[in-house]
Amino acid sequence: MKFTNKYFLLIGILFLIIFNEFVLVYFDTTPPLSELALKKIRFLNFVFVITAFFGKFIFTNTPKFILKFKKIFSIYILPSLLVVIAMDLGLNFLGFGYPSNYIEEKILRYPTPMDSFSGKPNERGHNEFGFRGKFENKINYLSIAFFGGSTGYLGEPTIIENIKLNLQKKGVDSNVFNFSSISSNHTQHIHRLVKYHDIFNFDIVVFYGGWNETLQYENYDPRPGYPYNFFFRNELSPIKQSILKYSSILGEFDLYTGIISGKAKLVLSTKTEDWEKKIINKYWRDLEVANNITNKLTKPNTCKNPLFISVTQPGDPPTSGGKKIWSLLKQSQNKNFNTWSHSDFTNENENVKFKDGVHLLQDSRNYIGKKISNIIFSEYQNYCN
């Protein structure tokens, strides 16, 4: 044969006789051979066969092939590669691809146990727990824990600080605990409540949200209850994460198709006919669980028993899919609340001004803070005073 040499043929046959699964099984201390071991052995056997029949050709022509490849690489491949890299970097500066905001990923959504992420402790004005504000448990003060996403985290002052100021005007001093963090949802807030329930005393627990608990699933991880971008951050391999983060071309391609990350398959398997209904049901289930935790685990500071208050925030979804989910959330507000106080602010759009679909301007934050403080003051007079 043209490409065959008898020495390569003999060496290949000899290795096949020695290194095969029927012989090597006798050297295995825990037979039978594992699937991984069998795959590796069969791959080696394939290499031996190729070497036996084409060894002469490979060793004779390899130097020629390397020289030819070097010429093609230097003339065609390398210049093209440099152009693509330059385009990739340029598009990244223009905002294409996956967003890679260092502050948000490393400081505002810092990985934490139980609740997935929160603010990084002692950074950007965060306290030792990773949240805004000073946490104090002064005796004879009404203690209020406030759980929200970015709408609860942002503001000067924040919504909970507004609540504190308004209660102070009514003669009620309060300890406030702002457990809000960027992008967090009520499923995370449940874990966060459990995480801190025995560290601080809470008279009133407020869950303020609705957007991250519903519309966030339309753009990010679609599975109800999963944290923001859980699939990308926790289930993709580090190699895929790096490729999609730092390549604007591949990142932009994946944002539209979901092929590289596999998100397209995840969306297809998750967004079934009853997907929107599952999202709404999860929202109310989380509030019910939070109410149970408040009543059964938390210890009050001044009230006889802790109280749970939930508020569905105002919102103005920009997309048709978002409007559909938001409409279902608004329709579900007509429930009987026998075990906790719930307030629907989804009809407050005429009284507030939005920075975008969900975030409010500061005057509107003040307005929301005043409304919630009135609710808290009413509950305080009825059950605590």
Please tell me whether the overall predicted TM-score, pTM, comes out greater than 0.85 for this model: no
What are the tens digits of pLDDT across the range 257-289? Answer: 999 999 999 999 999 999 999 999 999 999 999
**Amino acid letter, 240:** K
Same domain for 77 and 126, yes or no, is no
> At residue 44, does pLDDT exceed 70?
yes
Same domain for 127 and 51, yes or no, is no
Looking up residue 275, the CATH number of its domain turns out to be 3.40.50.1110
Give the residue numbers spanning the domain of 215. 110-384
What is the total count of domains within the chain?
2
What are the tens digits of pLDDT across the range 173-187? Answer: 999 999 999 999 999
What are the tens digits of pLDDT across the range 336-346? Answer: 788 899 999 99
Same domain for 217 and 327, yes or no, is yes
> At residue 55, does pLDDT exceed 70?
no
Query: Read out DSSP for 126-138?
Result: B-TTSSBS-----
Same domain for 16 and 127, yes or no, is no
Same domain for 81 and 25, yes or no, is yes
Same domain for 227 and 334, yes or no, is yes
The pLDDT > 90 percentage for the chain reads 64
Of 132, 148, 152, 162, nearest to 366 by C-alpha is 162
Domain-embedded: residue 290: yes
Domain-embedded: residue 101: no
Domain-embedded: residue 1: no
Same domain for 73 and 129, yes or no, is no
> CA angle 188-219-98, nearest 5°?
100
Average pLDDT over residues 16-27: 75
Token pair belonging to 195: 């995480």
**Of 93, 119, 139, which marks where a domain is finished?**
93
